[in-house]
Copies of this chain bind each other. A is one copy, B any other.
Amino acid sequence: MTDDAEHIIHADVREIVGVDRLLHEPSRLVICAVLYVVKRADFLYLQRQTGLTAGNLSAHLQKLEKNDYIKIEKTFDGKTPRTTCELVDTGRTAFDAYRENIKRLAIQLPN
């Protein structure tokens, strides 16, 4: 195989090695996908939607918060604690970019 075939391989394909790892993790991708459409969601709702264990979900949410992709609010609903999550601008923008990237990858290659 020579470099003659190089023209086939679009630069975008190579660039996916630099993909946003924070979003590339499936668990977090699902979390963000859910938050992308519902805007706000509490812990249990997210857990049901994603199918993640509570521990997992908690860890991933913290990671997303630390990177300012989501905002976590802790309140009380009567006496029971409630954790509410929201995708903020940084996260929304990153998610859009990620989608664009993988869309290009998925569509661009010849069959």
Contacts and interface: CB of A to CB of B under 8 A. Distances in A.
Copies of the polypeptide in the assembly: 2
B3 A45 contact: yes
B26 A19 contact: yes
B33 A27 contact: no
A102 to B, nearest CB: 5
Which secondary structure dominates where chain A touches chain B? Answer: helix
Contacts of A19: 26
Contacts of A33: 9, 13, 16, 105, 109
Contacts of A72: none
Interface stretch (A34-42, A63-71, A73-81): A34-42
Interface string A16-47: 11110000101101100110111111100100
